[in-house]
Structure 1
Amino acid sequence: MQTSEGKGTSLASGRLPDPYRVRPGDTLSSIARRTGVSIATLQRWNGLRDPHKIRVGQVLYLSEASAFGVSFVFLDALRHPIANLPYRLEVDGRTVVGKTGPQGQIPTQVTQAAQSKVELWIQDAHSQWQKLVSTVSGYGHKLITLVSGAIVVPTTLEAVSGQAIQALSKQREITATATTQAKPPVKPSGAPSKNNPAVTTKTGKGPQGMPTIVIGVDLPQTLMDHFKHFKGGDITAKDWEGVADLLECEPEVLQAIAKVESGGRSAFWRLMDGQGGHVPALLYERHYFSRLTGGRYDQDHPDISWPTGYRLRKQLGKEDKKMHDGRVDDDDIYASYATSYLRLLNAYRLDPDAALQSCSWGKFQIMGANHGLCGEPSLKKFVNKMCTSEVAQLGLLAGFIQNKPAAWKDPKNKALGREISLWDAVKAKNWRVIAFYYNGRAYETNQYHLKLERAYEAYKKANEAKKA
Structure 2
Amino acid sequence: MTPVLKAGDHGTNVGTLQQRLKAAGYLVNQTNVYDEATERAVMGLQRANGLVIDGIYGQKSFMALVGACQPKHLGAQDLQAAADRLGLPLATVRAVNEVESRGQGFLPDGRPVILFERHVFYKRLQEHGVDPAPIALQSPTICAQQVGGYQGGAGEYIRLEIAKHTHIAAAYEAASWGAFQIMGYYWKMLGYASVQDFVYSMQRDEAGQLDAFVRFVEHEAPMLAALKAKKWAAFAKLYNGPAFARNLYDAKLAAAYAKYAELDEVAA
TM-score interval (norm. to shorter): 0.5 to 0.7
| Corresponding residue number in structure 1 for 2:177 | 361
Which structure has more helix as a fraction of its residues? 2
Q: Which residue of 438, 443, 449 corresponds with 2:250?
A: 449
User: Within 5 A, what are the aligned runs for 1:363-382?
Assistant: 363-382=179-198
| Corresponding residue number in structure 2 for 1:393 | 209
- Between the aligned partners of 2:170 and 2:137, the Cα distance in structure 1 is 17
Amino acid at match of 1:301: S
Change (3 A) 1:381 1:236: same
Change (3 A) 1:335 1:455: farther
- Between the aligned partners of 2:163 and 2:196, the Cα distance in structure 1 is 16
Q: Which residue of 267, 272, 275 corresponds with 2:105?
A: 267
| Corresponding residue number in structure 2 for 1:247 | 86
Change (3 A) 1:340 1:439: same
Q: Deviations along 1:46-99, whole A, 9 cap, x unmatched?
A: xxxxxxxxxxxxxxxxxxxxxxxxxxxxxxxxxxxxxxxxxxxxxxxxxxxxxx
Task: Give 3-state SS (helix, strand or coil) of 1:283's partner.
Answer: strand
Q: Which residue of 237, 247, 258 corresponds with 1:436?
A: 237
- Between the aligned partners of 1:450 and 1:335, the Cα distance in structure 2 is 29
Q: Which residue of 304, 311, 315 corresponds with 2:142?
A: 304
Change (3 A) 1:386 1:442: same
Contact preservation (8 Å) 1:287, 1:305: yes
| Larger relative contact order (Cα-Cα within 8 Å, sequence gap ≥ 6) | 2
Change (3 A) 1:358 1:232: farther
Could you tell me which runs of 5 or more consecutive residues in structure 2 were left unpaired when the two chains were aligned. 1-69, 127-131
Pairwise CA RMSD of aligned residues? 2.3
Change (3 A) 1:335 1:250: farther
- Between the aligned partners of 1:238 and 1:257, the Cα distance in structure 2 is 15
**1:446 to partner: Cα distance:** 3.3
Task: Give 3-state SS (helix, strand or coil) of 1:401's partner.
Answer: helix
**1:335 to partner: Cα distance:** 4.4
User: Within 5 A, what are the aligned runs for 1:192-207?
Assistant: none
| Corresponding residue number in structure 2 for 1:289 | 121
Amino acid at match of 2:98: K
Contact preservation (8 Å) 2:72, 2:204: no
Change (3 A) 1:441 1:353: same
Change (3 A) 1:253 1:282: farther
**1:237 to partner: Cα distance:** 2.3
Could you state the TM-score of these two structures normalised by the residue count of structure 1?
A: 0.38
Change (3 A) 1:373 1:303: same
| Corresponding residue number in structure 1 for 2:58 | none
- Between the aligned partners of 1:454 and 1:340, the Cα distance in structure 2 is 32
Contact preservation (8 Å) 1:232, 1:388: no
Amino acid at match of 2:85: L
Could you tell me which runs of 5 or more consecutive residues in structure 1 were left unpaired when the two chains were aligned. 1-230, 272-277, 311-330, 407-420
**1:462 to partner: Cα distance:** 4.3
**1:262 to partner: Cα distance:** 3.5
Contact preservation (8 Å) 2:223, 2:239: no
- Between the aligned partners of 2:119 and 2:259, the Cα distance in structure 1 is 34
Change (3 A) 1:459 1:344: farther
Contact preservation (8 Å) 1:374, 1:397: no
Contact preservation (8 Å) 2:118, 2:143: yes
User: Within 5 A, what are the aligned runs for 1:37-48?
Assistant: none
Q: Deviations along 1:222-266, whole A, 9 cap, x unmatched?
A: xxxxxxxxx9343332221122111111223223333233442x3
Higher Cα radius of gyration: 1
Amino acid at match of 2:99: V
| Corresponding residue number in structure 2 for 1:339 | 155
| Corresponding residue number in structure 2 for 1:237 | 76
- Between the aligned partners of 2:172 and 2:142, the Cα distance in structure 1 is 13
User: Within 5 A, what are the aligned runs for 1:13-412?
Assistant: 232-264=71-103, 266-271=104-109, 278-294=110-126, 295-296=132-133, 297-310=135-148, 331=149, 334-404=150-220
Q: Percent identity?
A: 33
